[in-house]
Amino acid sequence: MDIKQEKNSKYHLIREMAETASVVKRIAVEKIRDITIPYNRVLLSGEGSSRIFPAKNTIYQAWKHHYKEVIYTEGGMQASEYDLTDTTVFVASNSGKTAEGVLLIRRLKAKGKSGTIGVVANSDTPIMQEAGQAYILQCGKELAVAATKSVMEQALFYDILFRIRNEKRLPDLLKLGSLIGETFAASCPEEIIRAVAGAHVVYFAGRNNGVAEELTLKTNEITRKKSDYLEGTYAVHGIEEVMNPDETVVLIEPFPEEEEKFMRVLVSGVGLKVVAVASRPTRFPTFVIPDYGDFSSYLQLAAGWNLLGEAGIRLGIDLDKPERARKVGNEFTG
């Protein structure tokens, strides 16, 4: 993605994706240290992009590194039905106005529950004002409908917070920011852009760490195409029965042991296109990106943004003006 070309940089969406590198570099770790977590049972609540990657990336790291916290995620309305007495409840909302988040906080207060933590990008908003604690993101207001830089900062807030509590290595934010910038500005292979731009449906498959699922949502918002997230090997466990050759599967950092199965079932069996985003060459056309260990998921997301931005522009879509999607999915008005 050449962010210097006017055909790309004229969009708020592309500029905000590119700004993510500097957002990451200036995250204040000491402010994150100030957040108090009263219980080791932790709920990461939010809606849409404020929950998918930030929460699931954190849960993935918690299982991988055996965190002392038991971390789970749920949307605000369903979470309000749970017994959260001994649970630390985070409510993430870029706008700070998401109705489900406000209602969750109020319902918990009505039950005598305190100690909720808001994670928002805008101050003087209902979630910031009503939560017991609040962390204000440094990314600033997003003008594009599709959330990007806020998603990355929300995820890093959680990542850093729980790494500190579990005495795990923190990312070098200057290095991570630079790698995110390089990945977003890299040249995505033409064959992969064509495969996504020309697909009737785009599927994403990969680990349940939020990357593939978040890119599925971004595909709807950016390319206006139907998409689906196929967790793990779901792509070869029945859905191939209804797949068609005019569809594309994007694998995110596939396990080498599973590549042959994808090739045999999807490419040879169905005849559809399979491409990959990975830190190594695969059997498929691959957008090869850097490897930064535990923090590679951020680079995978940036690579996905790169690909989808290129595909959307190739299709002649106005990336900043969707016909139906809204910046705040369900804005609180009470």
The pLDDT tens digits of the residues spanning 2-18 come to 888 999 999 999 999 99
Q: What is the pLDDT of residue 233?
A: 87
- Enumerate residues 6+ apart whose C-beta is below 8 A from 64: 294
Sorted by where each begins, the domain ranges of the chain are: 12-170, 176-314
Pairwise CA distance, residues 332 & 334, whole Å: 6
List pLDDT tens digits, range 50-73: 999 999 999 999 999 999 999 999
List pLDDT tens digits, range 301-318: 999 999 999 999 999 999
- 142 pLDDT band, cuts 50/70/90, is confident
Pairwise CA distance, residues 65 & 59, whole Å: 10
Q: What percent of the chain has a predicted confidence (pLDDT) above 70? A: 96
- 286 pLDDT band, cuts 50/70/90, is very high
- Enumerate residues 6+ apart whose C-beta is below 8 A from 54: 44, 46, 92, 119, 151, 154, 155, 157, 158, 210
Q: What is the pLDDT of residue 331?
A: 62
12-170: CATH homologous superfamily?
A: Glucose-6-phosphate isomerase like protein; domain 1 (3.40.50.10490)
Residues constituting the chain: 334
Report whether pLDDT(103) > 60. yes
As separate numbers, helices (DSSP H) first and strands (DSSP E) second, the chain gives 13, 10
Query: What's the chain's average pLDDT?
Result: 94
- 140 pLDDT band, cuts 50/70/90, is confident
- 333 pLDDT band, cuts 50/70/90, is low
Single pTM value for the model:
0.94
Report whether pLDDT(326) > 90. no
20: amino acid identity, one letter:
T
Report whether pLDDT(258) > 80. yes
* Nearest CA-CA partner of 268 in 281, 259, 280, 257: 259
DSSP track, 142-200: --SSS--HHHHHHHHHHHHHHHHHTT-PPP-HHHHHHHHHHHHHS---HHHHHHHHT-S
Pairwise CA distance, residues 130 & 81, whole Å: 19
Other C-beta atoms lying within 10 Å of the C-beta of residue 270? 20
Common-topology check for domains 12-170 and 176-314:
yes
Report whether pLDDT(153) > 60. yes
Report whether pLDDT(332) > 60. no
Residues 274-293, mean pLDDT to the nearest whole number: 98
List pLDDT tens digits, range 174-201: 999 999 999 999 999 999 999 999 999 9
Report whether pLDDT(328) > 60. no
Pairwise CA distance, residues 82 & 25, whole Å: 37
Q: Which two tokens stand for residue 226?
A: 């139907």
Q: Which CATH architecture has domain 176-314?
A: 3-Layer(aba) Sandwich (3.40)
Q: What is the pLDDT of residue 146?
A: 87
